Structure 1
């Protein structure tokens, strides 16, 4: 009985592998559609990203109010620094602190470097302008946000 069971499992496995091999040949043509679909999902996730860089919700709301008053922020005052908040911040950073990147709301090295220049110039940061949002940058950002 065991020998029969082993044989059936082996044959079933071999058939499954063969079928899987044939099935994957057909899906190779569909791979570009999956890739395009993944790009859309990634883009949607990117627009939902919240990067408060250590700020509390209350501090982030204060920053959003400041952005609304001075830099064209039109989003909700919700305490979540998302894409629209960072686009407004990037406009500010471009105007005054040497940000040269796209106004895309993505908090990358260029955005962080310009933020570090703002923080240094306002006396809230003394570290390197390295584009890394480390503890010193986050502490400086919190101190800067507390002035509102």
Structure 2
């Protein structure tokens, strides 16, 4: 009896997760109903999570800054680099577009002004942090602990 309850609970949970993941990904209600009733509910649970992640890129990249620290960065970006969004402490696409404009002008960022915090954006940021905020690591495009610590120092200096 206990095994049947676990199986029923596991199947129900898997179907609910599948429905939630598929709905988040923008699948129609008919598709969700079909996926939830499909015998391969286990497959639906393991695959949609990666699909949702790919479909919804991370909108905020504070790189370890608190909201208060990020607001300081946003104020400077608003005053000098064309940031037009709210000073809300969430470094989203528009904040990073303004940062990319700054990095392009002064720190050899050569990528598009798209607000995506990729390795090129991080390399430009690392060049700046190396020069003024004590970053000692490699300019490798990876926002590791050294990059994050130097970014915090930048925020505290504003």
For normalisation by structure 1, the TM-score amounts to: 0.69
More contact order relative to length (CA 8 Å, sep ≥ 6): 1
C-alpha distance in 2, partners of 1:57/1:130? 26
Residue by residue over 1:23-47, the C-alpha shift from the partner in whole angstroms, topping out at 9 and shown as x without a partner, is xxxxxxxxxxxxxxx8xx93xx34x
Q: Tell me if structure 2 keeps the 8 A contact 1:112–1:131.
A: yes
Largest Rg, 1 or 2: 1
Q: Tell me if structure 2 keeps the 8 A contact 1:87–1:104.
A: yes
Runs of at least 4 residues off by over 4 Å: none
C-alpha distance in 2, partners of 1:129/1:106? 18
Residue by residue over 1:41-73, the C-alpha shift from the partner in whole angstroms, topping out at 9 and shown as x without a partner, is 93xx34x61000000000000000000011010
C-alpha distance in 2, partners of 1:108/1:123? 21
Question: Alignment RMSD, CA only?
Answer: 1.7
Match of 2:124 in 1: 114
- 2:113 equivalent to 1:87: no
Alignment of 1:20-35 (within 5 A): none
Q: Tell me if structure 2 keeps the 8 A contact 1:49–1:82.
A: yes
Match of 1:127 in 2: 137
C-alpha distance in 1, partners of 2:66/2:59? 16
Match of 2:148 in 1: 138
C-alpha distance in 2, partners of 1:141/1:124? 9
For normalisation by structure 2, the TM-score amounts to: 0.64
